[in-house]
Amino acid sequence: MTVESNLSRRQFVARAAAAGVAVSVAGSVEALYTAQPALGTSGPKLGYGPLIEDPNGMLDLPHGFSYKILSREGTVRPDGLPTPSRFDGMGTFPDRDGGARLVRNHECSPTAKIKVVAPPERTYDPGAAGGTSTLVVDRHNGTTKEFVSLGGSAINCSGGITPWRTWLTCEETELKAGDSGYTKDHGFIFEVDPYDDRRNVDPTPLKAMGRFQHEAVAIDPATGIVYETEDAFVAPLGGFYRFLPNRPRGGWGTLRAGGELQAMHIPDLPDLSVVQEAGTEFHGVQWVKVPDPLATSVSVRAQDYSKPITGGYKLEGCWWGTRDRCVYFVSSFARTELGPKVDHDGQVWRYDPRKHTLRLEVIFTRPKPGSDDPEFDAPDNITMSPYGGLMMCEDGLGEQHILGTTEDGEVFKFARNRVNIGTPEGPEFGELAGAGFSADGRTMFFNVYNPGITYAITGPWRRRR
C-alpha cells in the first residue's frame, strides 16, 4: 500500500453550507472529471445557482432549467396495461433524428404495487414481478413509445450499457425457485436490446456471470472483460468481480457463450471501508476464480476461495473511464452496525487493469458527532456530466437530491424531489436513480423510484456561474 502525500490541486474538504449540503468530500476528483470525453472537464464554476421552488410541487431546479415528465407509474399504456412501479437504474441510448431510447429497470418484488406484466414470450419466470420498460423519445423529449421489454425477472436494480449498445439489467436478489412464489432461480443478469425487441424474446439469464445480488456492470471495450458490483446489505460483505468472456469481441448474445467469473483479492485488505484517506493506492490486485458462480448452496461472496476476497458494503454504481481505460465503482455507504469495520458516507474507487492497482479517489465522510447539520445520505447512481464533474443520485432519508460537483470540488444541489410519499409521522421522498445524458448532451434523464416518474431535464448546461 502507498499513500500519496500530495493528492492534487483538487484535494478538498468542501462544505456547501449555503446550499444546506452537509457533507465532507476529500480526494482527487480530477481523474473522475477526465475519465470520459466531455465538452468541458472541470464542472461548473459555482454550480447552477439556488433551487427554485416548483409551483407544481414536483421537482425543484435552478433558474433556466425545466423538466418534462416522460412516464409515470400507473399510467395506462397503449397496450392497455398500467406502467409498473419502482423505477430504478436506466440506460440511455441514441436514436434517430436526435431522439433517445431509454431502457428502465423496475425493481419489483411480488409485493410491488404494480407488477411488470410482459407477453409470455418475453417473460422469464411468471412468478416474478420485475423487468424492464423501453421508452422511445423524440428530439423534443416527447415519448412516442413505451412498452415492457423484459418480464418475469426480480428486483431489477441497476445494470450497464454494453459497447454494442444493449442494456445489461441486473437482479439484486439471491432468491431461488420456491421462494416468494418464484418458479426459477434469480440473481442473474439479462441482456435487453433497446432497438430490436424481437431479440428480447425468450429471456436468457447469463448464468456464467454469477448468481448474486447484482447492482451494476461496466465493460472494458478493448478486452470485453465485464466488471460487476454486488450490493450486499447483509454479512458477509459484497464482492467486486470480473467476468472473462469466452467470446470477448462482443455483440448481441455473445455473453451467453459463457466465461470465467473471478473475485477481487487484495492482500491484507478484507474490508474496503477501513480505507479512509483519499489517494490510498493498493498494488498487486489479484483475481481468484469463483468456485460456484451459480451459488447452488452457498452465496458467491461466502464461498471457500483460494484466497480471501476483498469486500465492501453496498457496492453500487460502476462505469468505464474511456480516457484512462480504468473502471470506477462506488461503495454508497458503510455502517459498522451492519458489518463493515468503519463508517463512511460513500467511496469512489478506481481500478487500473493494466497496472493492477486500486485507488480510493473520493470519500464522503460523515458529519462530526454532535453536529446539527443534516446528513447527506451517500451517492448511489453516479454519472459523468458531458460538461464535466459528477452528477450523483441521492438515496437516503429525508429530502432526495441530484448533487453535482464544481470545478473546485464543491458539492451543490442540482435537483430536489418534491413528491412527498410520507406518512402523518413525517415526510418521505422517493430516491432518485438512473441518471444519464442524451448523446448530444442537451438532456439529462433520470427516475424517481417511488412513485415512479421518469424526467427529462433541459437548460443552460454550459453556463458557468
Per the listing, cell 446528513 goes with 375
Give the span between the Cα atoms of 106 and 104, in whole angstroms: 7
At 148 the three-state DSSP class reads: strand
Give the span between the Cα atoms of 407 and 41, in whole angstroms: 8
Q: Give the per-residue pLDDT at 9.
A: 22
Q: How many CA atoms lie within 13 A of 119 on its CB side?
A: 11
Task: Tell me the longest C-alpha to C-alpha distance in the chain.
Answer: 61
**Segments in 284-382 forming alpha helices (H):** none
Q: Are 304 and 295 in contact (CB under 8 A)?
A: no
Per the listing, cell 441530484 goes with 402
Cell representation of residue 271: 474490508
Cell representation of residue 170: 441486473
Q: Give the per-residue pLDDT at 53.
A: 97
Q: Give the per-residue pLDDT at 199.
A: 97
Give the span between the Cα atoms of 60 and 369, in whole angstroms: 30
Cell representation of residue 167: 442494456
Q: Give the per-residue pLDDT at 27.
A: 59
Q: Give the per-residue pLDDT at 375.
A: 45
Q: What is the DSSP letter of 375?
A: P
The end-to-end CA distance of the chain, in Å, is: 40
Give the span between the Cα atoms of 95 and 91, in whole angstroms: 13
Give the full edge-to-edge strand order of the sheet including 100-106: 87-94, 100-106, 130-137, 143-153
In whole angstroms, what separates CA 265 from the centre of its chain?
Answer: 23
Which parts of the chain register pLDDT below 50?
1-24, 35, 37-41, 370-375
What predicted TM-score, i.e. pTM, was given to this entire model? 0.91
Query: Checking phi first, is residue 259 left (phi over 0); if not, alpha (psi -120 to 50) or beta?
Result: left
Per the listing, cell 409521522 goes with 425
Report the alpha-carbon angle 409-415-419, nearest 5. Answer: 150
- How many other CB atoms are found less than 10 A from the CB of residue 111? 9
Q: Give the per-residue pLDDT at 78.
A: 83
Give the span between the Cα atoms of 337 and 134, in whole angstroms: 39
Letter string b/e over residues 115-133, b meaning 16 or more CB atoms within 10 A of that residue's CB: bbbbeeebbbbebbbbbbb
Give the span between the Cα atoms of 8 and 12, in whole angstroms: 9
Q: Give the per-residue pLDDT at 371.
A: 47
List Cβ neighbours of 403 (8 Å cut-off, separation of 6 or more). 21, 376, 379, 390, 391, 392, 394, 411, 412, 413, 414
The residue among 437, 441, 361 whose CA lies nearest residue 30 is: 361
Domain-wise residue ranges, the chain = 1-85+370-465
Q: Give the per-residue pLDDT at 46.
A: 76
**Segments in 5-100 forming alpha helices (H):** 30-33
Phi, psi angle pair for 92, to nearest 5°:
-110, 125
Q: Give the per-residue pLDDT at 30.
A: 56
Give the span between the Cα atoms of 422 and 429, in whole angstroms: 7
Q: Give the per-residue pLDDT at 125.
A: 98
Give the span between the Cα atoms of 345 and 272, in whole angstroms: 13
At 245 the three-state DSSP class reads: strand
Letter string b/e over residues 320-349, b meaning 16 or more CB atoms within 10 A of that residue's CB: bbeebebbbbbbbbbeeeebbeebbbbbbb
Q: Give the per-residue pLDDT at 456.
A: 98
H-helix or E-strand spanning residue 87: strand 87-94
Q: Are 185 and 178 in contact (CB under 8 A)?
A: no
Q: From residue 106, how far is each of 8, 78, 100, 433 by CA, in Å?
A: 40, 19, 19, 11
